[in-house]
Amino acid sequence: MFLPHGLLLVVVGLAVWAWPCLAANRVSSPTQVQPEVLAGPVIVGAGESVGIGVALGIDEGTKMPKVSKIFPGSPAAEAGLAEGDMIREINGVQTTGLALEQCVKMIRGDAGTIVTLEILRAEDGAAIVLKLKRRAFRLTDG
């Protein structure tokens, strides 16, 4: 994988994300998502992880986790999550104002277990509830 100068490759649980080293927590507008990483507990094998398969940032406007990447073939992709969707609740707990690390802990879990997310759709703001079963998936970009 090629990384432009000034980026740091971060591997945390399920997600691999390029993160600007010097500007990791700076945003240029109130709705920009801070580059962050989400994921799951374990890298299972070369390029394989267990979880739901998303990377998140915190939206500065709403203070909710916002989906910034969906890994193809993951439970999140199969459930229809989309980049830009906001996560309003995780297992019945409101996420507004929670630290990203707290949200990550609530989403993480063992293969075969369920996490319930209330999502606000990026396209129309509609609220939907999804139950996602954590499982192994490949870490790929496309």
> Over the stretch 12-49, which tens digit does the pLDDT of each residue have?
333 434 333 222 332 333 333 344 444 443 444 556 77
CA neighbours closer than 13 Å in the CB half-sphere of residue 8: 12
Number of H helices, E strands in the chain: 2, 11
pLDDT at 31: 36
pLDDT at 139: 78
Which run of H or E residues covers position 93?
strand 93-94
Q: Does residue 11 carry a pLDDT above 80? A: no
Q: Is-contact 77 140, C-beta < 8 A?
A: no
Per-residue pLDDT band at 65 (split at 50, 70, 90): very high
Q: Summarize pLDDT for 96-141 with one digit per residue, the tens.
A: 999 999 998 899 889 999 999 999 999 998 999 999 999 988 877 6
- Distance (Å, whole) CA 46 – CA 27: 33
Minimum mean pLDDT range among 3-12, 55-64, 65-74: 3-12
The 10 Å CB-count burial string (b at 16+, else e) for 50-89 is: bbbbbbbbbbeebebbbbbbbbeebbbbbbebeeebbbbb
Amino acid at 126: A
